[in-house]
């Protein structure tokens, strides 16, 4: 290793929040205090739902307290049961939401080129017990939507999407948010668009949206009338205010992410042993919130250690794969087929810092550290 590659004096994190128009946010918080209306379907939540629905061209946005509860509400609202086919290569919340809703996750493999569900692997796992396919637009790269919809239609099962990473992503045909029975988003602090904590279900199904609105508020249909099983999954007003402020700056977030992705692509072009994952194939408008590299030849962890030594806190998301985590790893039924692509990708993947707090100069240093570690 060379000694002349500088270290960062403060840690560079993956997932540093994008922060938009803070003045607009403070003004809204002042309004909120004046109103003394902090939660329970307040005006900021309603406005945020309207603005996002308009932006995505989708009939309904149901805002929630986080992405996990959006997914749990959706699975329970659709009354999915039996087996739900999911990727193992995802954040564990995708799979926990299935399990906590009383259905059984069954792991399908991914396509090693896209990191999203491999339709052939999904097709082989459909049984009479399957109620749904839950696909993830991992890293904001759209899953194989058409192929998965064909499988779902052929077998009469629901298709739903975990679009936690894919806010503001467009396929060549439509914005993410308008596919399948519904798609869920996460607006967690680390996401492209954040509301501190938050999430939403996007759906064109008005009846489903009305049911989810009931369910996120304990099943209350009126002051004293509970007509459905429910929980507390409401987004607070302060989070919606953050969302409204951040929506105004989303163009700036994209400019920063595209600039950073381009700088990483340039730095890794021609570097041996490392490959930048393509999150936006032709025709797709990505959000570039995840900069994902694959490090070959079992050298991923030594690159990670070297980055950490220089104060770059890269992450090996989503190692080791959910099928190797509890409670799934001790349950053979969750994994009826081997998952070679999942396991191979999980051993190579490294997520690097990006977002509005990372500069091209930072990326030059990060790439020099990686180049040095690989040389």
Question: What minimum distance in Å lies between the beta carbon of 357 and ligand T4K?
Answer: 8
User: Binding of ligand T4K at residue 180 (CB under 6 A)?
Assistant: no
Residue 57 CB, nearest distance to ligand T4K (Å)? Answer: 23
Q: Decide: 138 and 163 in contact? Cβ < 8 Å.
A: no
Report if residue 210 touches ligand T4K, rule: CB under 6 A.
no
Calpha distance 293→267 (Å, rounded): 12
Q: What contacts 24+ positions apart, CB below 8 Å, involve 367-371?
A: 367/264, 367/267, 367/268, 367/271, 368/5, 369/5, 369/306, 369/307, 369/310, 369/312, 370/268, 370/271, 370/274, 370/293, 370/303, 370/306, 370/307, 371/267, 371/271
Q: Which of 39, 47, 149, 190 binds ligand T4K (CB under 6 A)?
A: 190
Would you count residue 291 as binding ligand T4K (CB under 6 A)? no
Radius of gyration for the chain, computed over Cα atoms and rounded to the nearest angstrom: 21
- Closest separation in Å from C-beta 93 to ligand T4K: 4
- Contact between 164 and ligand T4K by CB under 6 A: the answer reads yes
Tell the smallest beta-carbon distance from residue 188 to ligand T4K (Å).
Answer: 3
What residues contact 326, with CB distance under 8 A and at least 6 apart? none
Give me the least distance between CB of 224 and ligand T4K, in Å please: 31
- Could you give the CA distance from residue 375 to residue 359 in angstroms, rounded to a whole number? 24
Nearer CB in complex with ligand T4K: 135/273: 135
* Residue 5 near ligand T4K by CB under 6 A: no
Nearest distance from residue 116's CB to ligand T4K, in Å? 11
**3-state class of 163 per DSSP?**
coil
Strand partners, 12: 312
Smallest gap from residue 314 Cβ to ligand T4K (A): 9
Q: Which of 107, 49, 97, 104 is nearest to 76 (CA)?
A: 97
Q: Which of 16, 155, 259, 275 binds ligand T4K (CB under 6 A)?
A: 16
Check binding of 75 to ligand T4K (CB under 6 A): no
The site map against ligand T4K for 314-353 (x = CB under 6 A) is: ---x------------------------------------
Q: Does 90 bind ligand T4K (CB under 6 A)?
A: yes
Q: Give the closest residue to 74 by CA, choosing from 199, 165, 186, 183.
A: 183
**Count of positions (residues) in the chain:** 375
Binders of ligand T4K among 143-162, rule CB under 6 A?
162
Which region among 150-158, 183-191, 239-247, 272-280 touches ligand T4K (by CB under 6 A)? 183-191
Residue 67 found at the interface with ligand T4K (CB under 6 A):
yes
- Residue nearest ligand T4K (C-beta atom): 15
Residue 17 contacts ligand T4K per CB under 6 A? yes
Residue 202 in 3-state DSSP? Answer: strand
Which of 20/67 has CB closer to ligand T4K? 67
Beta carbon of residue 165, minimum distance to ligand T4K (angstroms, whole number): 6
Between the alpha carbon of residue 272 and those of residues 17, 261, 276, 365, 373, the distances in Å are 31, 18, 11, 17, 11
Q: Please state the closest distance from residue 185 (CB atom) to ligand T4K, in A.
A: 8
Total residues contacting ligand T4K by CB under 6 A comes to 23
**Of 273 and 355, which CB lies nearer to ligand T4K in the complex structure?**
355
Burial (0-12, 13-18, 19+ Cβ within 10 Å), 177:
buried
**Quick count: other Cβ atoms within 10 Å of Cβ 368?**
16
The yes or no reply on residue 188 touching ligand T4K (CB under 6 A) is yes
Binding of ligand T4K by 100 (CB under 6 A): no
Site membership for ligand T4K, residue 101 (CB under 6 A):
no
Sole binder of ligand T4K in the list 76, 116, 130, 186 (CB under 6 A): 186
Peptide bond into 140 cis (omega under 30): no
- Report d(CA 163, CA 52) in Å as an integer: 14
Site for ligand T4K, rule CB under 6 A: 13-17, 66-68, 90-91, 93-94, 136, 162, 164-165, 186, 188-190, 199, 313, 317
């Amino acid at each position: 290793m060379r000694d002349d590659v500088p270290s960062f004096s403060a840690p560079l994190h993956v997932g540093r929040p994008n922060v938009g128009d803070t003045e607009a946010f403070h003004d809204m918080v002042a309004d909120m205090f004046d109103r003394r209306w902090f939660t329970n379907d307040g005006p900021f939540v309603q406005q945020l739902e309207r603005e996002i629905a308009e932006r995505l061209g989708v009939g309904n946005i149901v805002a929630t307290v986080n992405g996990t509860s959006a997914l749990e509400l959706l699975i329970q609202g659709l009354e999915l049961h039996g087996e739900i086919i999911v990727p193992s290569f995802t954040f564990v919340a995708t799979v926990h939401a299935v399990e906590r809703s009383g259905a059984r996750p069954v792991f399908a493999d991914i396509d090693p080129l896209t990191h999203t569900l491999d339709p052939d692997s999904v097709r082989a796992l459909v049984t009479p017990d399957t109620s749904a396919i839950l696909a993830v637009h991992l890293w904001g790269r759209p899953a194989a939507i058409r192929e998965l919809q064909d499988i779902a239609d052929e077998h009469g099962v629901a298709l739903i999407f975990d679009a936690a990473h894919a806010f503001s992503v467009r396929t060549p045909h439509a914005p993410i948010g308008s596919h399948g029975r519904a798609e869920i988003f996460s607006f967690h602090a680390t996401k492209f668009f954040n509301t501190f904590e938050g999430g939403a279900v996007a759906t064109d199904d008005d009846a489903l949206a009305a049911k989810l609105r009931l369910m996120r508020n304990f099943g209350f249909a009126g002051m004293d009338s509970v007509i459905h099983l429910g929980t507390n999954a409401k987004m607070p007003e302060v989070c919606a205010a953050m969302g409204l402020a951040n929506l105004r700056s989303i163009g700036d977030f994209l400019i920063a992410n595209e600039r950073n992705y381009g700088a990483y692509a340039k730095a890794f072009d021609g570097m041996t042993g490392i490959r930048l994952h393509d999150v936006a194939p032709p025709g797709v408008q990505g959000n570039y919130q995840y900069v994902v590299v694959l490090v070959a030849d079992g050298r991923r962890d030594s690159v990670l250690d070297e980055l950490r030594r220089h104060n770059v806190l890269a992450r090996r998301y989503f190692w080791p794969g959910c099928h190797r985590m509890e409670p799934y790893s001790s349950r053979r039924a969750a994994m009826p087929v081997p998952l070679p692509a999942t396991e191979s990708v999980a051993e190579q993947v490294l997520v690097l810092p990006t977002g509005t707090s990372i500069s091209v100069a930072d990326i030059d240093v990060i790439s020099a550290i990686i180049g040095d570690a690989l040389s």
